[in-house]
Structure 1
Amino acid sequence: MIRPKLSLRRPLAVLAAALIGMTGAAVVATPAAAHHTTITATAVCDQLSGERVITWKVVNSERDKAATIKKVTAEPSSPVQVLVPGAEAVDLQGVAINRGGFVEAVQRVPGDTASAKLTVEARWDNRRERTNDGTIRLDRDAPCQPAPKCIDASQAKYSHTFDGPNGKATVKLEGDLPLCGEEKQYFTLVSYFAPRPQFATPQYVYGEPDSNFLGGTQTEIELNVGVPDCHTQVDLIWGGVDEVIDPLVEDGPRYGNKKLGERGAPGNRSSGPPGWYNGGSKNCTTPASTFASSCDGTVTVSLSNDGSISKYPVEFEVRGENGWSKTVTVAPGKADNETVVPAENAGKIEVLVEGKVIENGTYSWERPEDCPLPTVTTDADCETFGLTASNPEGGVPVKVEFTYGDKTETRTVAPGSSEKVTFPAGDDEAALVVLPELGLELEVIYAPEGCGGGGGGEEPPGLPVTGAAAGGIAAGAIALLAVGAVLFVLARRRRVHFTA
């Protein structure tokens, strides 16, 4: 019968379809129905301790059942603890996880740990148990290092200020960390005498360098030095006073990169302006001259280079009239007293350094007050009136003007010689002797003995008669010598009467 057949096949097909559907549901549901925990982790570096801090997150897969962690295994082995606000941390083992919830626990591992693993065995309310694990890679980052509490002097950075013209500088340790332990870093400020306002040698340290260190609680220093009132160099250098170079000479050592602000180490470890200065407005010498006139017309020029800032030799040029010149080099701290300008060149003298006349460096010969003066003697009789001018040895030639009546005779008397003029006797009672270069005048009365009338013959009334004419002339000559010595010292441009 056909019909029963058909009715049998249909129920069988329906049953087969139902079995396939149930099998598929079981396969899909099995993972969903399996109790498990999901374990993930994050990590940070604790720079205070240098440890990695791993935060493990354990999630309960079951939304309707709580779970209790029965066993915890950590690799590396160190406590895994749940942080409880306001209370002490507790171990992850034994902690309950709410339905569908999670719990976080912290584990500390060494800073160079490459990876970590956490294995958790949990048990649910329906007494099902499951063990799961999670891992985290830690070697993708550099090892965790503790934050430094200080900085090694060899790694420290600095900053500085610099005022070379005024000899001032500051140096400061950069950052918030002091130098480690007992370490110190010295810096020194030093100034020099220099021969030029640009770099030149030799240079000599001026005064005392100022040196101080950074270390311990001292993180900033101020340095001050004196600066000479002349050409100078000022340097801010890396190191203590044992680094100071004195003197700085040609082909000698240099500070180079030790100067702060240089491009190379160690100077480039301090940021700031260039730590060097060259300047000054005048030479580091004290050239001076003094002059002394001699009775013979020469002038001795004394040259000195011994002032407080005389650190270099000075080349003097002494110039006189008529093209006369002499160059003299005087060492620092010394003097030269042997430059004699000849009489014929001593009318105007100049002392120059580097082509410029120095202060108080001009002079002209002046007759010293203690020089012996020329003398005048007479040789008078009834017919003639003779006058003789004598110039002592060691002096200069002297111009003498003799005037009697309407006649004037001029003579130049060389040192150590005499010049005589003779006038015919006349009615004039006196002759005038003038030394124009010395500003001196002498009036000599003509009154020979034994002559009557004005110029000769009878004796004039009122004139003393003491003996022979020759005796009177000799006495008058001696008197003139004596009076003349006083006369020419005290009587400038004065007319003095003397009776011959």
Structure 2
Amino acid sequence: MNRLKSPYRHVMAVTASTLIGIAGALTLASPASAHHSVVKVTAECDTAAGEWITTWTVNSYAPEGVHNYRFTKADAASVVNGTATPFTIAGIAVSESGVYPHPVSTPVVGKARLAGDATEASLTVKAQWDNEWNEKDDSSASIKFSESCDKVATPPPAAANPKATVTADCDGDVAVTLENGAEATKDAAFTVTGTDGFNKTATVAAGKDTTITVPARNAAKITVTEAGQKAPIFDAKPAEAKDCVAPGEPTGSIKMTCDALIFQVENPKDGKTVTVTLTPNKGDAQTLVVKPGETKTATFKAVEGLTVTPRADGLDDSSPIEWEKPAKCTGPSPSAPPAGGGAGGPALPKTGAPAGLIAGGAAALLAAGAVLFVVARRRRVRFTA
């Protein structure tokens, strides 16, 4: 009996074989396709260093229930002038057997610096998962550089190079010398502050300097700042001057005449200016400003009861000096009534020791001592002119 020849047999056979092939392929390929790695790379030019910064990313994929994996291969190479040279990538390296440091589906990212004249670079990896499945084929990525990465010199930002030198003199005044180094690339903006509101500013060009003087009364503490600096350049009480030589001391004297009270102040050449104000109880005050090397006098017309009070800035106490008529003066004291026993009567004879002479001499000595004290004390406390 002849069997019918169906036109679909061959088709059915082909279809069946195809289905069998697909099923076999799925059976054989599913684990492999489920376990695989994907490598990517990017690069940027670091012009400050003249190097390529390459960033390599590896993503791993595996079936559910597989948690970690390791690299069994991690080969990286770059090409410079036609020669391939291996390089390492931080974080992407072969792990020892049995150790699976990388979580599945979490990217592993590593960076590597390459020469600026590199023309290409590549990374090839293989993975093994913690179910002991080994990646069959290599996974890789490469990059080609169309141009070199050249170093570009970037000038540093403009900056001052400030410095301050603080020096006190023997009078307590302080010289603050402000400098800006020759290598500075911008002006230095200084501010100098002292006590009691002292404040001055100065702008100093590169390689230049200037000096600000802080008076002694403002120099208990000095602060020097510069606009580009976070901390003060100087912030303290200045050190006292050393090896100071005391100036010469002035001398004073008094002369009492029959019609005047005379004060004299003599200042040596190595002294300092002395200022003494003499105020009488009758008449106008006189002020003596005596510079080094000078001698000056003040004369007051003598009258009965005349006193003169010497004063100087900063002197806490000074006593009046009273004019006493010298014994040699035979006439009556100015404005005093005439001596004798009455109008037209004879004068009484003088007997006994010359009391007036003794008293007058003693008073003159006391007065001279008082003036000397005033002048000398004023020098010691350094009153200004």
Flag the structure with more relative contact order, 1 or 2, with Cα contacts below 8 A and sequence separation at least 6. 2
> Which one has the largest radius of gyration?
1
Q: What is the TM-score when the length of structure 1 is the normalising length?
A: 0.36
Q: What is the TM-score when the length of structure 2 is the normalising length?
A: 0.44
